[in-house]
Each structure stands twice: as C-alpha cells, then as structure tokens.
Amino acid sequence: MFGDSDFFLSEKFKLESFCAYQDRCIFDVKKKLKASLLSEEKKDQLIAELIQDKFIDDERFALSFAQGKQRIKKWGISKIKAGLRAKQISAVLIDKALKTIDKSVYLEDLTQLIEKKKRLLSAEKESYKKEAKIIRYLLSKGYQLEDIFKCGIRED
C-alpha cells in the first residue's frame, strides 16, 4: 500500500502531466481533484505547489482560452467571456484576455461567418427571415449586435 507521501507525490505527478498537456486553470484542477482520496488540506497544498511551479496560471489560461476560442472556434466576445466566467476566472483577467483579441481579425472572422451563413440560407426567399436567422446564429456564437450590423448583414 502507498505511504501518505507516496500517494501525494503520485497525485502531484498525475496533475503535473494533466497541466503540462494544455493550459489549465485552478477550477479545472479542483474539478479533477474532487475524485481524489487526498484530504482537503493536501488538495490545497497540491494546488499551491502547482501554482508555485507554474503548472497552473489563471492569467496564462485566460489568454490562451480567449485567443484559441476566437481563432479556432470563431467565438464572439460574449461567448468567450461566458466561458471564462464558467471557469471562475476573475473579471480583471477576463478583461485582460479580451483586450488581446485583434479587433480587425475578429471583425474579419465575423464577416466571413455572415457570408458563409448567407450562402447556406440562399434558398430563403424572405430577406427579413434570412437576416433574422443569421443574427440568431451569430448571437449564439457570442457576437454582439453592434458588431454584426457593423459588418454589413443587410442585403443590398
């Protein structure tokens, strides 16, 4: 049977691997630790050591989350913000992460999504229905209404 310190080191090694695979936040690590047999005190100690050793960094996580979701998934600001809130990231770090998003690339992605959705809805005859469907789609992706209209959703 494991000794107490052997078990602790084993759990620490697993979490170091978990955190090294991709950026993680404190919330993700706590969620992973729920199933662990360690005491709450040992779990807190483990998280503190992972933070000290730079395996966990909420700021780094927030920055990579925001940039990745915008670049790869084409999420809008509202959805990114909600995703970070769900991970219990502080408002200060959320604001800092959102400021790193390049607004010109963001609006370019939005324009591409509008054009793609227009092509998919080409069979829709009534322009107001088509426009409503596109707006609903973009809102669900987290884009803000003012940005949607800025990018020219209207049929000319």
Residue 133 confidence (pLDDT): 93
| Residue 37 Cα distances to 7, 29, 33, 141, 142, angstroms | 9, 14, 8, 39, 39
Label residue 6 by pLDDT band (50, 70, 90): confident
Task: Report the share of the chain in percent with pLDDT over 70.
Answer: 96
Task: Give me the sign of the Cα torsion angle 110, 112, 113, 117.
Answer: positive
Among the ranges given (3-12, 18-27, 81-90, 107-116), the one the predictor scored with the smallest mean pLDDT: 3-12
Q: What is the pLDDT of residues 68-94, one digit of tens each?
A: 999 999 999 999 999 999 999 999 999
| Alpha-carbon dihedral angle through residues 74, 96, 62, 116, given to the nearest 10 degrees | 0
Averaged pLDDT of the chain = 90
Number of alpha carbons in the 13 Å side-chain half-sphere of residue 139: 9
Residue 2 confidence (pLDDT): 45
Rounded Cα distance between 78 and 21, Å, is 27
Rounded Cα distance between 81 and 124, Å, is 32
What integer is the mean pLDDT of 49-77?
Answer: 94
Structure tokens at 54: 């730079």
Residue 106 confidence (pLDDT): 93
Write out the DSSP string of 69-86: HHHTS---HHHHHHHHHH
Label residue 150 by pLDDT band (50, 70, 90): confident
Residue 108 confidence (pLDDT): 93
